[in-house]
């Protein structure tokens, strides 16, 4: 062991960083961006899901329970009629609705209430506050019914998913697409950078190849790899992990293919802004982590602070994740307008990224 030689290595590393301002900046900017985002997301989230209340009780107690629900800090409520509830769940304006049946007051006097709770069911994490709010309203109710114990047996119904769904089923749908997206993104950005550093890009530029041909060639090559990977991920998820799937396997595969194409082009585009593999590696968490946080996988987009919702709305992954959940949890097919929108937006991103990658390609040698 020679302290002198060890110091030489350490010094060499730091000297390199001093010249590589961009890596240095990314090194210190990336954690702040990621942690800041996480903090804002968790503290600022308006995690009070919107719940419809249909009070059909002819007696006095329904009004009282509805009122208690309205004042709950866990949920935001709107009054609806029971017939409109499912439509609200489907178009996403409600995550749940509660029906207090016409004989609700009588049930309470008899000591056994059974309000209906309809949950949308495709978003993990929003069911708990709904049930919690109802529980508290029931405690308030019990104190009103003198001299009796009131037992509480909510009738829970799921529009999608349901009791048999576990956490993996909810997250699995999103992650099936995510895994492919990020792995393809990483190999593209690195191999495009190699092309630059080993000098072959200069040769390509001195050949009659057009920029668009390079970008398309890359896209096709990596898409082939990505599709094989997508097939593997899908088979593993469905056959081994047994993630529940309501939709068509071909649709899932199609959505994955679109995500892979978007990832390849995002990789090509971003590699234009990295001068070294070092910098490219820094890009990865900066691109990956915010997208995971903001795409609605963990925190539903509707519960994000308003400012972050705008950001979520322009990220391709938000639409991709939503599309995957639509297919796998809700069993959506191409006749669903929400799925058409999701697939359309992801395809649109692909086109924009191809154009952007092509446009940025030549500049570097000029």
Partner 1 sequence: MTDSYAVDVEGVSKSFGAFKALNGVNLRVRQGEIYGLLGPNGAGKTTLIRLICGLLAAHAGTVTVLGQRMPNVAVLRHIGYMTQQAALYPALSVEENVSFFAAINGADEGVKDALELVELYDRRGSVVATLSGGLRQRCSLACALVHRPELLLLDEPTVGIDPQLRVQFWESFRRMAANGTTIIVSSHVMDEADRCQRLGLIQYGRLLAEGSPADIRAQGGSQNLEEAFLALAGRKAS
Q: Which residues contact 171 (CB under 8 A, 6 or more apart)?
A: 124, 297
Q: What is the largest CA-CA distance in the chain?
A: 91
Q: Is 203 in the site for partner 1 (CB under 8 A)?
A: yes
Q: Which of 199, 239, 240, 307 binds partner 1 (CB under 8 A)?
A: 199
Which span sits near partner 1 by CB under 8 A: 40-48, 115-123, 198-206, 283-291?
198-206
Q: Between 151 and 207, whose beta carbon lies closer to partner 1?
A: 207
Angle of the 21-44 helix axis to the 277-294 helix axis, nearest 10: 10
Q: Which of 102, 207, 337, 340 binds partner 1 (CB under 8 A)?
A: 207
Q: Is 232 in the site for partner 1 (CB under 8 A)?
A: no
Q: Which of 7, 71, 148, 210 binds partner 1 (CB under 8 A)?
A: 210
Cβ neighbours around 81 below 10 Å, total: 12
Cβ of residue 260: shortest distance to partner 1, in angstroms?
Answer: 22
Q: Between 3 and 199, whose beta carbon lies closer to partner 1?
A: 199
- Residue 205 and residue 362 in contact, taking contact as beta carbons nearer than 8 Å: yes
Q: Between 176 and 186, whose beta carbon lies closer to partner 1?
A: 186
Q: Which residues contact 116 (CB under 8 A, 6 or more apart)?
A: 98, 99, 101, 154, 155, 157
**Rounded-to-integer distance, Cα 123 and Cα 296, Å:** 9
Q: Between 11 and 203, whose beta carbon lies closer to partner 1?
A: 203
Residues 149-188, one symbol each (x = binds partner 1 by CB under 8 A, - = not), give ----------------------------------------
Per CB under 8 A, which of residues 329..358 are in contact with partner 1? none
**Rounded-to-integer distance, Cα 52 and Cα 108, Å:** 21
Q: How far is CA 31 from the centre of its chain?
A: 21
Long-range contact set of residues 297-301: C-beta below 8 Å, sequence gap at least 24:
297/171, 297/174, 297/175, 297/178, 297/321, 299/41, 299/42, 299/45, 299/47, 299/125, 300/123, 300/125, 300/126
Q: Is 204 in the site for partner 1 (CB under 8 A)?
A: yes
Cβ of residue 181: shortest distance to partner 1, in angstroms?
Answer: 25
Q: Between 133 and 193, whose beta carbon lies closer to partner 1?
A: 193
Q: Between 148 and 210, whose beta carbon lies closer to partner 1?
A: 210
Q: Between 73 and 200, whose beta carbon lies closer to partner 1?
A: 200
**Rounded-to-integer distance, Cα 273 and Cα 281, Å:** 12
Which parts of this chain interact with partner 1 (CB under 8 A)? 198-200, 202-210, 365-366
């Amino acid at each position: 062991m020679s302290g002198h030689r060890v110091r030489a290595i350490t010094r060499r590393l730091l000297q390199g960083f001093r010249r590589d301002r961009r890596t240095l900046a990314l090194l210190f900017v990336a954690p702040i961006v990621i942690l800041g985002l996480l903090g804002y997301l968790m503290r600022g989230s308006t995690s009070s899901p919107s719940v419809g209340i249909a009070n059909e009780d002819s007696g006095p107690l329904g009004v009282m329970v509805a009122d208690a629900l309205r004042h709950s800090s866990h949920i935001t409520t709107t009054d609806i009629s029971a017939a409109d509830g499912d439509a609200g769940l489907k178009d996403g304006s409600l995550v749940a609705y509660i029906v207090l049946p016409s004989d609700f007051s009588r049930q309470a006097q008899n000591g056994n209430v059974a309000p209906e709770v309809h949950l949308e069911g495709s978003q993990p994490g929003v069911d708990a506050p709904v049930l919690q709010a109802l529980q508290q309203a029931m405690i308030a109710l019990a104190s009103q019914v003198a001299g009796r114990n009131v037992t509480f047996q909510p009738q829970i119904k799921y529009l999608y998913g349901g009791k048999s769904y576990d956490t993996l089923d909810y997250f699995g749908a999103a992650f099936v697409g995510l895994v492919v997206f990020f792995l393809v993104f990483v190999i593209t950005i690195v191999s495009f950078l190699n092309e630059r550093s080993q000098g072959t890009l200069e040769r390509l530029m001195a050949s009659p190849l057009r920029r668009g041909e390079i970008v398309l060639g890359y896209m096709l090559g990596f898409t082939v790899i990505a599709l094989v990977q997508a097939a593997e991920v899908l088979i593993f998820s469905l056959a081994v992990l047994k993630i529940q799937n309501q939709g068509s396997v071909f649709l899932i595969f199609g959505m994955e293919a679109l995500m892979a194409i978007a990832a390849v082009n995002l990789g090509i585009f971003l590699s234009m802004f990295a001068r070294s593999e070092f910098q490219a590696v820094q890009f990865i968490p900066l691109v990956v982590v915010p997208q995971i946080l903001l795409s609605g996988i963990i925190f539903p987009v509707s519960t994000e602070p308003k400012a972050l919702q705008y950001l979520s709305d322009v990220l391709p992954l938000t639409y991709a994740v939503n599309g995957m959940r639509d297919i796998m949890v809700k069993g959506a097919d191409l006749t669903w307008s929400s799925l058409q929108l999701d697939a359309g937006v992801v395809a649109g991103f692909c086109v924009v990224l191809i154009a952007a990658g092509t446009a940025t390609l030549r500049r570097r040698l000029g």
